[in-house]
Amino acid sequence: MLRYALLGFLNYHSLNGYDLKNVMEDSARNFWHADLSQIYKNLKTLQEQGMITSTLEMKEDRPDRRVYTITEAGRREFAEWLATPLTEITPIKEVLLLKIFFSAQAERISVLTQLRLQRELHRRNLQRYAEQTVSDIEKNIQRLGASLDDALFWDATRRAGVLYEEMYIQWLDETIARLETLSEGGT
């Protein structure tokens, strides 16, 4: 999957591995993330497959950088992926829910503490998505040389992040409230 993310970004603009990581962190972190080493490995594979080419830029004051450019074959593969419909839902793996599922066996107070901590983390996340304004998106559009059309879709993914965090916080609030009511009489 990561290969398509990389091809997608390179389809806008030639970039090196380090910058790809930063661009991804800035714009896609609420639905995708990848380790730097993972990105370098994928770039190597993509080049071996002829999807991208690279040139080494010599720098005097900074480390040399290997800049990757998408090829025609790369554009084709990417376009094909974009056009192929997803016939399934991305399955969720949510560690907190796994823990909660078994939490009848845990100390009630410990569960509450953990839920409150998660609520705090999700609140911060929500705030970040909410603050990621239109101007931020415009900044990324300039950086990548993307079109104004892209802003619409980028904002849609930002909106998905906001809705997700709001939903998550609502669920945490509900669940914490339920546990607090029960705890008044018990352990």
Give the whole-angstrom CA distance, residue 49 versus residue 44: 9
How far CA 143 is from CA of 12, 14, 110, 139, 140, in Å, comes to: 10, 11, 46, 6, 5
Identify the CA nearest to 55 among candidates 19, 2, 16, 20. Answer: 16
Residues from 89 through 128 that contact a second copy (CB under 8 A): 89-107, 110, 113-114, 117-118, 121-122, 125
Residues from 62 through 91 that contact a second copy (CB under 8 A): 78-79, 81-83, 85-91
Say if residue 9 is exposed, middle or buried (CB neighbours under 10 Å; 0-12, 13-18, 19+).
Answer: buried
**Is residue 140 at the binding interface for a second copy, with CB under 8 A as the rule?**
no
Binding-site partner at residue 171 among DNA, a second copy, none, CB < 5 to 8 Å by type: a second copy
**Residue choice 167, 177, 180, 183 for contact with a second copy (CB under 8 A):** 167
Binding-site partner at residue 58 among DNA, a second copy, none, CB < 5 to 8 Å by type: none
Give the whole-angstrom CA distance, residue 140 versus residue 146: 8
The sign of the dihedral angle between the CA atoms of 111, 115, 121, 125 is positive
**Is residue 58 at the binding interface for a second copy, with CB under 8 A as the rule?**
no
Smallest gap from residue 121 Cβ to a second copy (A) = 5
Q: How many residues bind DNA (CB under 7 A)?
A: 28
Phi, psi of 78 (to 5 degrees): -65, -45
**Is residue 27 at the binding interface for a second copy, with CB under 8 A as the rule?**
yes
Give the whole-angstrom CA distance, residue 150 versus residue 138: 10
Binding-site partner at residue 132 among DNA, a second copy, none, CB < 5 to 8 Å by type: none
Smallest gap from residue 15 Cβ to DNA (A) = 8
Give the interface with DNA as residue ranges (CB under 7 A). Answer: 1-3, 16-19, 22, 33-38, 40-41, 43-44, 59, 61-67, 91, 93
